[in-house]
Copies of this chain bind each other. A is one copy, B any other.
């Protein structure tokens, strides 16, 4: 039995799809593995600083399982983006917890401007990373440290995996599933989510 524990650090004004994308991937792994007779499972935990429910950037209220002080040991830490990251990068208790938790985790991941929090916690200096395309300049303006790459869905540098904006967390979650479990189970998870995307328009504005 391979069980991985994946913890999401959530906060007010976290972007909903940033965390629900990989949440769905990591949760679906267990279902897909079970159907194939594999014993791989993920346990997914939603955490906030106080343990109180949070309200996302687009207004969705989301239930929280525990306070960060009560977090279980994590194989994966995942931090979403959203406007709330600009508050959390100035929150010493959160940054200290992120730094300590990252030191003990096998993988440290972010989606969108969640990488701002990893950077503010001192985890990305001299490392390659990415973030939402519209936030790349701001990363530098804020004095955060790291080499931000453009036009890539996710970047792995050591055990840190940062994703581009919002929807890119789905791609990152599937990639990490292949690393943590197996390519076969990542494919089965992708199929269970019917993730065969076909954007109806080009994204050019």
Is A199 a contact of B203 with CB atoms below 8 Å? no
Determine whether the beta carbon of B194 is less than 8 Å from that of A196: no
Given A193-B167, A194-B164, A61 contacting B58 (CB threshold 8 A): no
Interface size on A, residues (CB 8 A): 56
Q: Chain A, 103-121, contact with B by CB distance < 8 Å: what is the 0/1 string?
A: 0000000001000000000
Residues of B within 8 Å of A178, CB to CB, are 200-201
A44 on the interface (CB 8 Å rule)?
yes
Q: Is A187 a contact partner of B204 (Cβ separation < 8 A)?
A: yes
A1 on the B face (CB < 8 A): no
A16 partner residues in chain B, CB cutoff 8 A:
20, 23-24, 27
Structural contact, B201 and A199, CB atoms closer than 8 A? no
Tell me which residues from 38 to 68 in chain A have a Cβ below 8 Å from any Cβ of chain B. Answer: 44, 46, 53, 55, 58-63
In chain A, residues 1-45, which have Cβ atoms closer than 8 Å to a Cβ of chain B?
A: 15-17, 20-21, 23-24, 27-28, 36, 44
In the bound complex, residues from chain B placing their C-beta under 8 Å from that of A201 are 174-175, 178, 183, 186-187, 190
Chain A contacts to B: CB under 8 angstroms: 15-17, 20-21, 23-24, 27-28, 36, 44, 46, 53, 55, 58-63, 112, 132-134, 153, 164-168, 170-171, 174-175, 178, 183-184, 186-188, 190-205
A-B contact pairs, 8 of them (CB 8 A): A16-B23, A17-B20, A61-B62, A153-B196, A168-B194, A171-B199, A187-B201, A187-B203
